[in-house]
Amino acid sequence: MLDLKLIRENPQAVLEGLKTRGGNYEIEPILQLDKQQRELESKRSQLQARSNEIAKLIGKKRASGLPLDSPEIQALQAEGNEVGTQSNEVQAQEKELKTQIEALLLPLPNLPGKSTPLGKNEDENVEIRRWGDEYIPQNSNILPHWEIGEKLGIINFERAVKLAQPRFISLFGAGAALERAIIQFMLDRHIQAGYVEVIPPFLVNTESLTASGQLPKFGEESFKCDRDDLWLIPTSEVPVVNLYRGEILTAEQLPINHCSYTPCFRREAGSYGKDTRGLIRLHQFNKVELVKFVHPNTSEQEHEKLVRDAEGVLQALKLPYRTIELCTGDLGFAAVKTYDLEVWLPSAGKYREISSCSNVGDFQARRANIRFKEAGKKGTQFVHALNGSGLAVGRTMAAILENYQQPDGTVKVPEVLQQYLHRDLL
């Protein structure tokens, strides 16, 4: 959520920042309601001051010997009651205005960072680096991952559709084992890098989705259990961010680094017709997520480290990839700055997203009210939150099935996964 004070003091700068994202955003209604709310706040302060003054006057008159039923004291008490009634009314009006202001703030995206490249759409994203060109297969007869997966008997789409609907899969034998091996390898690697593993609930309440920035923006893309007001998580970022919701941490606790494996559930609204085959765009998929809570002063450095941690997985698997910096027009809702990692898929002859690593600044922390206090300093500050896939497991499997495909129709198991699978070929 954007800082209301920032909008109040720098409205033009906020509008210009939002404009770089594309779309139309309004802040004038927010400014008008904010003005009304602050006027009411001032009025309430005046009423409170008068209430305190009346209480002191009554105390003095009582100390001078006047009885409670004296006309002077009764008049003051009547005025005090009236002031109290007015104060309660003003407080209720304030609360309503704050609710209206929040309702207008919640749909506004985060402001892009100063170093985020300007651009209208994904065509204007900036390639930062490439890695692993020497590992790009030279075989021109590589089957798409869904075809080789079905041929090997390790992926079945038809049975999954029978159980659920399209965009679900079933994994069998070595396919199921490979999925588990990828997950365990990623977790082991991130834990060694200093991340603390978390297994959170896979269902969360509405407050959790709102705090992480999923609601109200992405409500249509989420699966909801109406009876219980619970939602299937779209990513473990949601529950992990909310672990510290409403808390005040100490500066000494930062940075907090978590890694988390969970299944993820998304309707993929607006994407029908795209990637209808294979593992790229499913309603249910596995992912290992990286989440950091950091001091604002180290936010940029920690973001770069997080990206390198995700890249390290691809390098260990010897999967060719490139790192892209998203422009303002392609930036995610909550992000200040984002790097996407795109892995090479030979059957498509192009790179496809496998991880998105974002610095969201204090955007989520404001919504979730996650703050920290530094020793010897007054007040508190909002933490900065970072998140990134480390990696999307299904897309990693797709990349392995294609990049490690052999001319005889088998698939070589990446060396770092062989200790988990106890085999070198699928």
Query: pLDDT, tens digit, for every residue of 161-181?
Result: 999 999 999 999 999 999 999
Read off the pLDDT band of 204 (50, 70, 90).
very high
Instruction: Find the mean pLDDT for residues 74-79.
Output: 90
Read off the pLDDT band of 41 (50, 70, 90).
very high
> Does residue 61 or residue 353 have the better pLDDT?
353
CA distance 311 to 341: 7
Domain edges within the chain:
28-105, 122-421
What topology is assigned to 28-105 in CATH? Helix Hairpins (1.10.287)
CA distance between the termini of the chain:
47
Q: Answer whether 141's CB lies under 8 Å from 51's CB.
A: no
Nearest to 402 by CA among 319, 285, 283, 287: 319
Question: Which residue in this structure is represented by tokens 């192009």?
Answer: 350
Share of the chain above pLDDT 70, in %: 98
Count of C-beta atoms within a 10 Å radius of residue 150: 16
**The tokens of 407 are what?**
């001319």
Q: What is the pLDDT of residue 293?
A: 98
**The tokens of 20 are what?**
């770089």
* 241-290 per-position pLDDT tens digit: 999 999 999 999 999 999 999 999 998 644 555 666 889 999 999 999 99
Q: How far is CA 327 from the centre of its chain?
A: 18
Which are the contacts of 267, defined by CB distance < 8 A and separation ≥ 6? Answer: 220, 221, 222, 223, 283
Element (H, E) at 343: strand 337-345
401, pLDDT greater than 60: yes
Q: What is the pLDDT of residue 270?
A: 47
Collapse the DSSP code of 425 into the 3-class scheme (helix H, G, I; strand E, B; otherwise coil) and give the result.
strand
Q: What is the pLDDT of residue 73?
A: 85
What is the residue type of 98? K
Element (H, E) at 291: strand 284-294
> Does residue 71 or residue 182 have the better pLDDT?
182
**The tokens of 39 are what?**
């006027």
Rg, C-alpha atoms of the chain: 28
* 206-240 per-position pLDDT tens digit: 999 999 999 988 888 999 998 999 999 999 999 99
Which are the contacts of 269, defined by CB distance < 8 A and separation ≥ 6? Answer: 220, 221
Nearest to 300 by CA among 358, 249, 381: 358
**Backbone phi, then psi, for 389, in 5-degree steps?**
-75, 135
39, pLDDT greater than 90: yes
* 98-108 per-position pLDDT tens digit: 999 999 999 99
Q: For 172-239, give the DSSP string.
A: -THHHHHHHHHHHHHHHHHHHTTPEE----SEEEHHHHHHHT-TTTTGGGS-EEGGGTEEE-SSTHHH
* 339-383 per-position pLDDT tens digit: 999 999 999 999 999 999 999 999 999 999 999 999 989 999 999
Q: How high does pLDDT run on average in the chain?
A: 94
CA distance 184 to 290: 14
Q: Answer whether 234's CB lies under 8 Å from 279's CB.
A: no
What topology is assigned to 122-421 in CATH? BirA Bifunctional Protein; domain 2 (3.30.930)
Q: Report the predicted TM-score, pTM, of the whole model to 2 decimal places.
A: 0.90
**The tokens of 7 are what?**
């909008």
Q: What is the pLDDT of residue 274?
A: 65
CA distance 229 to 239: 15
